[in-house]
Amino acid sequence: MATRDQDSGGKFQLSRRDFVKVGAAAAAAGAVGVDWAVAPSRANAADVAHTYSTTCPYCSAQCGQQVDVAADGTVLDIYGDPNNPTSRGGLCAKGAGAYQLVTNERRIGVSEHTAAVDGFDFTGQAWKRVGDSAWTAMTLDAAMTEIAPKLVAARGPVADADTLYDLFTAGDVVDEVTYTGFSGLTTIKLADGSYMVATNGNKATPTELAVLAAGLPGSAAAYVAAFDGLVFKATDPAWKASYTFVGRSDLGAKMLAAGVFANTADIVVDAGVYYAYVVAVTGEMHVLTSPDMLVWTYDAPLGKPASVGTMTSPTVLKSGANLKVWYVDIVAQKLQYASFDGSAWSAATNVTVGGSDPIWFVGHPVVSATSAEYTLYYVLGSGGIKKAIAPVATPAVFAAATNVYDGAAKSEGNVSLAASGICFSTYAQPDDDDIGWAYSDIKGLAFSNNNNARTVMFFGSSHMNNEPNNLYRKIIATFGTSLTEHQARI
Amino acid sequence: MTNNWVDLGFSTCFIVQGANPVENHPASIAHLNSARFDTNGRGRNAALVVIDPRQTRTARMIKAGYDSTNTNDMRKHDRFVRIRPGTNVAFNNGVLNSIITWMYANPTDQRSINFFAWHNGTADNSLATRAVTADDGLASSVAAWPKYCDTRLKTNATGTDYQRETVTGVNGKAISNFPVRAANIEDAECVFQRLKAHVAKYTAAITADICGCTEADIAAVRDAYIDNSRFASSDFGAAAMTQNAAGYRAACIMYAMGATQFTTGSQGVRGYAQIQTIMGNMGRAGGGINALRGIHNVQGSTDMGVLFDLIPGYSGNPGVGTTYPNYSNALFGNRVVGTTTNSPYVPANLGLQQRGFYNMTTAWFGEQQDAVDTYSSADFEALYACWPKGNGVQHIESFRRMCPTAAENPTAAYHYAPTAAAPRISACVVWGQNPAITEPNQSAVRTGLYNLDLLVVTDMFANETAQCSRKSTGVTYLLPACSHVEESGSVTSSGRWIQWRDRCRAPKDNSKSDLELLLKFAKALDGANAFSHIEARWATMTNKPVGSAYNVLYGKYGWDGTGSMEAISLPDAEGVTLKGSEHVAEQIFKEMCSPLNATTGIQGTLWIYSGNDTASAYNAATGDNNPAVGINWGKANRAKSRAGAYAQAGTSGQYARYGWAWLLNRRIFYNNSELAGDVNDVFVAPGFIARILTINTNTLADWSTLYRAYNTLADMPDVGTSTGMHVYPGRFPAYTEPYESPRPDLVTKWGKNTANGSALIFADSPVGAVADFPLVLTSIRCVEHFQGGPITRNNAWNVDAEPDPWIEINSADAIKYGIADGMWVNVITARGDSIHTQEALTAGGALAPVANWTKGFKARVGVGTLANQRVAPGTVAIPWHWGDRGLGVGARANDLCIDSWDANTMIPEFKACLCKIEKA
């Protein structure tokens, strides 16, 4: 590097000092010549027992390097490899100094390192410090043995959505449920031939509303006004003959006010709303209510169903053998599952749920204009599903109350609650459309932490060979996380 | 790189825009010089055009003189164009506008005639019949399809997508959702006309004002492109390249961090791809766009997916809720959803990337089966379920997530409020990296590192990250790695060449190879039951792996995790003895690179390093194949192939037997089978064409037999089209100002970039205004030091050559601020200064702080005319290699740099922020 710009009639000139410093790079760069600057080995030929081939550890040109090694393994010199088509034996100021990288007394773990070199004697195998106190040396095995459990503790258990049904065991009874909030508008064909409409408000498209309005009383505008966390159910198989609203009283009143329903008899008030939601083993979303065996599926990458009426259970539940779909039986107040053999649903089976371990999940509030609100629920023993706390803007802190997460770190069953937050999340994919949000929420409900230990970050390195990089990425994946970055994209 | 380092020698024009290869990639310069000074006797000389805010040493190579009597001496186009930091996109668009305008203005010029013939599909060899998948899932094909790019495809009115139609394939099958072709590029709805309208706003006058260059600069760069395009080449329309002919023309673009480290970095690079595609320079010897990557194996580590959004082979993390069939269906390969013939659970049905993913899933989370179809779909699903779902977090965010809450530490410089969806990061493993230097806005980074419960660092030196200041309960571990000659394995150069490194000796004393440390790490994790969730999956399988997680998943690489790895001594396929890490590396290489479709033994896990049959990088068939060039491989491990003599360059001149190049040993991407002696390639995108248009949907192209997903970019200016300057923002690259801009007038007009409306900076990041910080700061590198400096700042030779960090300033600014050459200067931004503010966060306690790094930067004041100095008035440049640990210490550039990021890659805007300077 020139000490400063030298303007010499438009021609760049190198001082001798510059040339010495920059070495081959400058020789190649100067407009005066095009030859490679090749420096042969400085090793005494008689001392060289082996000459190996490697590549320069600096930039991504990967110039070839030859390494002369003595019989005892001492590296005698590292110099350019003329057989390498990229570099033809040339090395720059960094690459030409690679020998010093190997023999460097400042390397940790080598015998040349002393306290005089770098302020601490790093000749050992591994080192540890607490806070800013001094380093202490330890064996590599001891360091690994200490590090691994700390990482596992920081990570917590790895759970994923598919294990939902494994978590429920015999004996539990559901006594309170809330639903996750259907985002977007869809129609559901019931097993008995009736239809259900679900929405949480303003996300229905005009087209969808028009389709619905064609089959439901009232205008599309009325539904826009009224569809706010509501669920309609057409109880008559012909589905145009009569309608009943099932939902919270305030929402029922809203329906009446909007003129969607004419009579209070059409409104069935219930404090919870109860359309269940759960994930099948294929990962497709299946929403069922009981006793009607409603099925709402969303095949995420393929988009919403083209039109009402084409969506039937067998056509959408097209993949996966021995599907089990979990749902909450509102009437019986039980967790149940039904199984699907590829063409038909078997009868729902009550599940006995229980055990002493609480199972936590996060669901959306009944009425939610945004997906940023959360409600914390749990299942504990025979107490059924409890609401731990009302919707809050952020779930960072849950207030103290009965059956409420107290903020302390705990690990019970397959779910752990870290002191710094809940280990699972309702991670949502912003690229997904409205239904995709609901889908992601349901994953959260399934006690998922997205399979992701989101509390341990791994930084990798572009300095490593491919094999350790591949191994590192594999360790991160098997550890259960995708929190990884290497030297920022270069 | 679409091409490679050696191929630079075929170029006839080097457009160096956002790189300084003389200092940072010196090996390229001999190839560049051989083309410029015609050492190969081809009768032609290559031009050098350097576009950069600094008159770098690369820029100083221009004007070497030229022979005006030789029409093939392109050095007449030599030029240095100085542009303001952060204006690459505007410059690209200005040049594109100028090129298009020129083509219309010179209709009788042969280059213009060729240009339109090529884009209209009337030139020889510009159309092809392409294989597609019909609606019924069976094979079909479409004739007379553009061979190179989408300029003739029609778009909808807003340019958000192509117009679509159902076409009939050559065998009568229906293919729906297929892009609509216009008769020619004069169709007002076609991509070319949309692009033309988009770049028309970038007139020479407007572009020159934005970039701080002259209108003549833009015209000169335009002329360099036109004279060195396919349209000016003597082989135009030919079926094969004549890359050795005097009349051959191909410009290449060389770029590095000077193109990418902006909030608009991705769009800048996309602009390069657009210009090179429009000018027919992609897939050409000496052409292409060439990223000069910074670290020797940054290509390889990216290939390995060590990023928050990738797994190996550029596959995305399986998404939350994405089923395996749907995930597979979106990869490069075959349609496996919505077709009755292709079950994704039958490996033989799968295309390259799909098969690689299948194989990787079985090899990473279970045991590969000897015969290819052994796993039932249920068993495979159990292994697929082991993949972590969803992306991690990008690097800047990760340090924020380490910070304490306001309640925990009210005086911390940065706070983080954990949420269920975004919990605190409490532990961090740093393997061979030095984020305490390399990450922007170090105040936030060090606050995060300080607050970690657990920090593990593996490195050759006790670097800044290992010795950063830590809270009293924070535990830090440091593990000793070895040098590159003490460990074996493959590395992948920027040109995608994979070369093998010999193990020249065992790691010195107590240092260890990365492979030994990592396998020990895996063994310890297994001991701590870290893999119990995988073992729980195995329990549900019919054909279940047997043994401990370590033995099943990691023991197969040749070491049981106990005793000394270096004691291993076993032969490779050719009988050569491999010791220690070389044996383990060979086993992992074999797993990655064996044939994807092997019917016995390992089925390769990394599709880009593998391939079917003899195309793979590890293959027992060591004869003259892939491609046939008259030389046998001789090595099952292709990375060990060393046919590097001049005589072994082959007809393509690409050294097809020196190492191995992904994909499938292709040396030049997208060569459209026009380069004899190279492995054939096409544009591997839906429709076999380069896409100029960025469409706004990521729905699948179900008819595609290559990549099946359309990639989109997130870029969107925050002023939208309201100011009348942006015509199709998001569809084509749109210039916006850096997040700290010296030109508020341009911010008003053109806006700042966002990711679909989301700001590219955190709300708590300080952002300065030009009134307080009048100078533009850009970060740079030098040849003597490397990246964050933990290596070179511990080497006495390098430290002796460049002991201290410096600041480059123009003499006009030096006078203004009273700074003389050699003086120490304090550089100050909204985030900190170079002397005071960060000291408290650097190691204290028993780790005594090193004082020398608080001196600031040493002034290098320009000499000569204002215009001819290294930097222009108003701009200062500082290297970023220094820190507070090591043999050589000095002020950190990243105490100053802004932590805004690119909308797609999340790379920080290291190259442009605002500062002021004072005498230290």
Identity of residue A374: Y
Domain presence at residue A207: yes
Pairing of the two strands A267-269 and A244-247: parallel
Q: What pLDDT is attached to residue B341?
A: 78
Asked whether B789 and B775 are in contact (CB, 8 A), the reply is: no
Suggest the residue from A74, A370, A489 to mutate for an interface test with chain B (most B CBs closer than 10 A): A489
pLDDT reading at B236 higher than 70? yes
Q: Rounded to whole angstroms, how far apart are CA atoms B308 and B297?
A: 18
Domain presence at residue A147: no
Q: Which of A6, A62, A471 sits opposite B518 (nearest CB)?
A: A471
User: Are residues A281 and A261 part of one domain?
Assistant: no
% of residues, chain B, pLDDT over 90: 85
User: Are residues A305 and A394 part of one domain?
Assistant: yes
User: Are residues A487 and A408 part of one domain?
Assistant: no
Q: Rounded to whole angstroms, how far apart are CA atoms A453 and A451?
A: 7
| Angle between helical axes of B514-527 and A140-155 (0-180°, round to 10) | 60
**If pLDDT is split at 50, 70 and 90, which confidence band does B844 have?**
low
User: Are residues A65 and A50 part of one domain?
Assistant: yes
B877-916 b/e (C-beta count within 10 Å ≥ 16 → b): bbbbbbbbbbbbbbbbbbbbbbbbbbbbbbbbbbbbbbbb
pLDDT reading at B101 higher than 50? yes
Alpha carbon distances (Å) from B723 to B201, B584, B718, B726: 12, 60, 11, 7
Q: Rounded to whole angstroms, how far apart are CA atoms B653 and B670?
A: 17
**If pLDDT is split at 50, 70 and 90, which confidence band does A360 have?**
very low
Domain B6-116+202-295 has CATH 3.40.228.10: yes
Q: Rounded to whole angstroms, how far apart are CA atoms B273 and A112?
A: 50
Residue in this structure with the two tokens 């797993």, named with its chain if needed: B591
Alpha carbon distances (Å) from A276 to A181, A333, A421, A443, B82: 10, 11, 26, 13, 63
User: Are residues A209 and A311 part of one domain?
Assistant: no
Domain presence at residue A471: yes
Quickly list H helices, A176-320. 206-215, 220-226, 249-258, 313-316
Domain count, chain A: 4
Sign of CA dihedral A179, A183, A187, A188: negative
Choose one of A80, A102, A124: the last residue of a domain. Answer: A102
A287 closest CA partner among A273, A307, A270: A273
User: Are residues A373 and A264 part of one domain?
Assistant: no
**If pLDDT is split at 50, 70 and 90, which confidence band does A471 have?**
very high
ipTM computed for the complex: 0.97
Q: Which of A54, A148, A394 sits opposite B484 (nearest CB)?
A: A54
* C-alpha distance from B233 to closest chain A C-alpha (Å): 25
Residue range B775-919, CATH number: 2.40.40.20
B315-352 b/e (C-beta count within 10 Å ≥ 16 → b): bbbbbbbbbbbbbbbbbbbbbbbebeebebbebebbbb
Which tens digit of pLDDT belongs to each residue from B210-222? 999 999 999 999 9
B392 closest CA partner among A485, A87, A35, A446: A485
User: Are residues A258 and A291 part of one domain?
Assistant: no
Which tens digit of pLDDT belongs to each residue from B854-870? 889 999 999 988 888 99
Residue in this structure with the two tokens 């923002």, named with its chain if needed: B729
Q: What pLDDT is attached to residue A268?
A: 52
Asked whether B893 and B797 are in contact (CB, 8 A), the reply is: no
**Residues B691, B694, B696: CA angle, nearest 5 degrees:** 135
Q: Which of B6, B34, B846 sits opposite A134 (nearest CB)?
A: B846
Domain presence at residue A381: yes
Could B907 and A488 be called an inter-chain contact, meaning their C-beta atoms sit closer than 8 Å?
yes
Alpha carbon distances (Å) from B429 to A259, A308, B455: 60, 51, 6
Alpha carbon distances (Å) from B868 to A178, B210, B469, B778, B862: 71, 20, 44, 18, 9
Could A487 and B525 be called an inter-chain contact, meaning their C-beta atoms sit closer than 8 Å?
no
User: Are residues A264 and A282 part of one domain?
Assistant: no
Mean pLDDT of A86-102: 90
B196 closest CA partner among B663, B727, B789: B727
Ranges in chain B annotated CATH 3.40.228.10:
6-116+202-295
**If pLDDT is split at 50, 70 and 90, which confidence band does B838 have?**
low
pLDDT reading at A315 higher than 50? no
Which tens digit of pLDDT belongs to each residue from B641-654? 999 999 999 999 99
Q: Rounded to whole angstroms, how far apart are CA atoms A299 and B784?
A: 55
Asked whether B396 and B906 are in contact (CB, 8 A), the reply is: yes
User: Are residues A317 and A301 part of one domain?
Assistant: yes
Which tens digit of pLDDT belongs to each residue from B340-386? 778 999 999 999 999 999 999 999 999 988 765 579 988 998 899 89
| Angle between helical axes of B581-593 and B514-527 (0-180°, round to 10) | 80
Per the structure block, which two tokens stand in for B744?
Answer: 């508020």
Identity of residue B841: L
Could B525 and A109 be called an inter-chain contact, meaning their C-beta atoms sit closer than 8 Å?
no
A431 closest CA partner among B726, B390, B133, B742: B390
Mean pLDDT of A145-170: 60
pLDDT reading at A231 higher than 80? no
Could A147 and B454 be called an inter-chain contact, meaning their C-beta atoms sit closer than 8 Å?
yes
Which tens digit of pLDDT belongs to each residue from B768-810? 999 999 999 999 998 889 988 888 999 988 899 999 999 999 9
Secondary structure class of B886 (helix, strand, coil): coil
% of residues, chain B, pLDDT over 70: 98
User: Are residues A431 and A376 part of one domain?
Assistant: yes
pLDDT reading at A161 higher than 90? no
* C-alpha distance from B115 to closest chain A C-alpha (Å): 33
Of A209 and B15, more confident: B15
Extended beta strands in B122-241, E state: 127-133, 139-146, 164-168, 174-179
pLDDT reading at B907 higher than 50? yes
Asked whether A483 and B308 are in contact (CB, 8 A), the reply is: yes
A433 closest CA partner among A310, A303, A280: A303
% of residues, chain A, pLDDT over 70: 30
Domain presence at residue A167: yes
Secondary structure class of A31 (helix, strand, coil): coil
Q: What pLDDT is attached to residue A51?
A: 97
Phi/psi for B773 (5° steps) reads -130, 90
**Residue B721, number of CB atoms within 10 A of its CB:** 12
Q: Which of B425, B427, B475 sits opposite A130 (nearest CB)?
A: B475
Long-range contacts of B618-626 (CB under 8 A, 24+ apart): B618/B589, B618/B590, B618/B592, B618/B593, B618/B594, B619/B594, B619/B595, B620/B573, B626/B664, B626/B665, B626/B679
Identify the closest residue of chain B to A25 by CA–CA distance: B26
Element (DSSP H or E) covering residue B277: helix B265-278
Could A154 and B887 be called an inter-chain contact, meaning their C-beta atoms sit closer than 8 Å?
no
Q: For residue B55, list chain A residues with Cβ-Cβ distance below 8 A.
A: 5
Ranges in chain B annotated CATH 2.40.40.20:
775-919
Q: What pLDDT is attached to residue A168?
A: 24
Phi/psi for B552 (5° steps) reads -70, -45
Asked whether B805 and B879 are in contact (CB, 8 A), the reply is: yes
Q: What pLDDT is attached to residue B850?
A: 61
Q: Rounded to whole angstroms, how far apart are CA atoms B670 and B674?
A: 9
A468 closest CA partner among B592, B789, B573: B592
* C-alpha distance from A51 to closest chain B C-alpha (Å): 8
Identify the closest residue of chain B to A282 by CA–CA distance: B323
Mean pLDDT of B48-68: 95
What's chain B's average pLDDT? 94
Q: Lowest-pLDDT range, A306-320, B557-571, B843-857?
A: A306-320
Range of the domain at A197: 186-228+230-269
Q: Which of B530, B533, B863 sits opposite A5 (nearest CB)?
A: B863
First to last CA, chain A: 22
pLDDT reading at B36 higher than 60? yes
User: Are residues A419 and A370 part of one domain?
Assistant: yes
User: Are residues A248 and A287 part of one domain?
Assistant: no
Of A144 and A394, more confident: A144
Domain presence at residue A377: yes
Asked whether A338 and A280 are in contact (CB, 8 A), the reply is: no
Secondary structure class of B888 (helix, strand, coil): coil
Helix, strand, coil shares, percent, chain B, to 5: 30, 15, 55
Q: What pLDDT is attached to residue A210?
A: 52
